Chains A and B, each alone.
Chain A
Amino acid sequence: MSADLITAGGDGSMSAVSDTAFRLRDVRQEKSGRVLLRDIDLVLPRGRITVLLGSSGAGKTSLLRLLNRLDDPAAGVISYLGRSLDEYSVTELRRRVGFVFQTPVMFAGSVRDNLHEAAEIAGLEGEELPKRVREALKLAGLDPALEDRPSHELSVGEQQRATLARTLIGAPEVLLLDEPTSALDPESSEFLLDSIQRLRAERGITVILSTHRLHEALAVADEAVRLSGGAVEESGEASDVLA
């Protein structure tokens, strides 16, 4: 990203776009007349782990869904790398901004079929594919022995990692994770959070992760956003927000 793409920050200051992944201005979201998000002004930095902290119903999922355009906001503007989201082709945006749902949804077939499906959508093919599959499984912390396993035979924890691998195979720049540990036991949770930190460190992936668990947020967050009733209560350095 060129340095001349400069945009005003929420507080009026100037900051380089290259440090900012997403910027949300006056974002509002509604569903069936109910307000899900209101007055959202946020800067989500690039290459860092931002945790959205809040109880259920605080608007965490609604916010994540806006970032890869599974939904569009009722009002307000969201930009990614300095360009408004609707300036991207929606399929391209979604390939660059991966989303792992809270409840894992596996496609039919084996784990490998699932990853191949995602690879095909991402336009990957050829000899590199088996290697990419193994890499993605390793990154997501899923035992490569499970590659041939029918996806519906996996435990929920394994499915969660398989859907993470499925998202990672397309090498997204951003990873949106909606309560990724809610279905996992403490050991698996810790393992997954380690993987996420490794992804950020080794690949420079921007991670935006929602959780309602403070200790989890403390464990991984560089930045934190505290949401309540669809509004931002506090945001900034994790050490300040979570203190």
Chain B
Amino acid sequence: MSWPEVTGLIATKDPLLASLQQRLGQAAGGLEPEILQSPILGLSWLDLVAASGLVLLAVGIARWQRIGLAGSLIVGAVRSVVQLALVGYVLVYIFEIDQWWLVLGALAIMLAVAAREAVRRQEERSLRLYGMTGLALLVGSGFTLFYVSLVIVRIEPWYNPRYLIPLFGMIVGNAMNAAALAHERLAAELKSRRGEVEAYLALGATAARASRGPTRSALRAALIPTVNSLMVVGLVALPGMMTGQILAGVSPLLAIRYQIVVMFMLASAVAVSAVIVVLWNRRLFFTPDEQLRIGGGPA
């Protein structure tokens, strides 16, 4: 298929992408003659059966070396097929219905699942922790999604599920990891540095002042993976989204622009969510009378 044919096809299917291409083409000063370089090759279900041979190879190795994971690999493979198939059909349904309330509903479910997952990893869980974490993820991810979709990519209509759902998936997934990491580290630091925190409290410091050290450690722990990924992106491995776009026929020059936006948006989502989690959840470790709860009182 020639380039004009492809762009024509895309333009009729997705006017937004076509206008984006036009904008980018202008911005690049004609450096970029093509956004879609080649159409993607289809994959049939039969192709997937062939692909399962690769999992069977891994199962074979697990059996051979008796590492006790062969069963889990099979269950995991079956689960990934079922889960992805379901997600695929749900996405097709949402894209076809194309209603704002359905898109927002999907985003809300993603948020709730992410909050639950972030809290599930903690040693001490409570409804309050769940609520606070959910709210932190909502603010951190919601702000980032709003900025990326309406200010940077300028999607139309504003709820376009083809953009909002994958973008939010990336944002909330990273924010979830950061929130879980931040809370986990905060709890661990407050426990291991209990003496220091209580020494501050005993001097008359507020809980916020007494936990400044642990708070900083928790924030660092949450942000370091993002800093590292900013440092090595493109050097060690190509990011998943960019790989996907390239496989789908998008020019690497457009794919990297999206990837740059993605990297920056993840930094924002991670930082905002982590700082909210740490500053809000910090209160959970102290009584209203500035007493440390960890360790359960007197030594």
Binding site for B on A (CB under 8 A): 29, 31-32, 36, 61-62, 65-66, 68-72, 86, 90-95, 98-99, 101, 103, 105, 107-108, 118, 121-122, 163, 166-167, 170
Contacts and interface: CB of A to CB of B under 8 A. Distances in A.
Contacts of A71: 291, 297-298
Nearest to B195: A105
B229 interface: no
14 contacts: A61-B298, A61-B299, A68-B202, A70-B298, A86-B289, A92-B204, A93-B204, A94-B201, A94-B203, A101-B202, A107-B196, A107-B200, A118-B203, A122-B203
Contact of A121 (B205, B292, B297, B298): B205
A92 B291 CA distance: 14
A86 B23 CA distance: 66
B109 interface: no
B290 interface: yes
B213 to A, nearest CB: 7
A151 to B, nearest CB: 11
Contacts of B294: none
B199 A95 contact: no
Nearest to B287: A72
A163 B200 CA distance: 11
Interface of B: 195-196, 198-206, 209, 213, 289-292, 296-299
Contacts of A101: 195, 198-199, 202
A109 B254 CA distance: 49
A131 B290 CA distance: 30
A91 B297 CA distance: 18
Contact of B201 (A62, A70, A170): A70
Given A32-B296, A121-B200, A90 B290 contact: yes
Contact of B209 (A31, A65, A121): A121
A238 B283 CA distance: 43
A70 B203 contact: no
Contact of B298 (A29, A99, A122): A29
Given A101-B202, A118-B203, A90 B195 contact: no
Given A69-B291, A70-B198, A108-B213, A62 B298 contact: yes
- Central interface residue in A36, A69, A93, by most chain B CB within 10 Å: A69
B202 A107 contact: no
B195 A91 contact: no
A101 to B, nearest CB: 7
B209 A98 contact: no
A166 B198 CA distance: 14
Contact of A98 (B200, B203, B205, B213): B203
Contacts of A68: 202
A107 B212 CA distance: 12
A61 B202 CA distance: 14
- In this complex, the member of B200, B202, B209 whose beta carbon has the largest number of chain A beta carbons within 10 angstroms is B202
A101 B194 CA distance: 12
A91 B206 contact: yes
